[in-house]
Amino acid sequence: MTAAATLKALEANRIFTDLKDAEARLAQAARDLKAGAIDMATYQTETDVCTKIIRACQQ
């Protein structure tokens, strides 16, 4: 594997990891809100952050 291919594979892996982490954070925030562990403002902030990350990863 060439250096360029290795770098491309590493970047793809980073993007995939960021995407899955954001999806997991979003799901956890929903569970926390339902359980009363966080308030709506915190949930909305987490949702906004995760949505931005997910959109950036899908470009």
- Mean pLDDT for back-to-back runs of 10 residues, the chain (59 residues): 91 96 97 98 97 94
d(CA 44, CA 26): 10
Q: What is the pLDDT of residue 59?
A: 83
| SS (HEC) of the chain | CCHHHHHHHHHHHHHHHHHHHHHHHHHHHHHHHHHCCCCHHHHHHHHHHHHHHHHHHCC
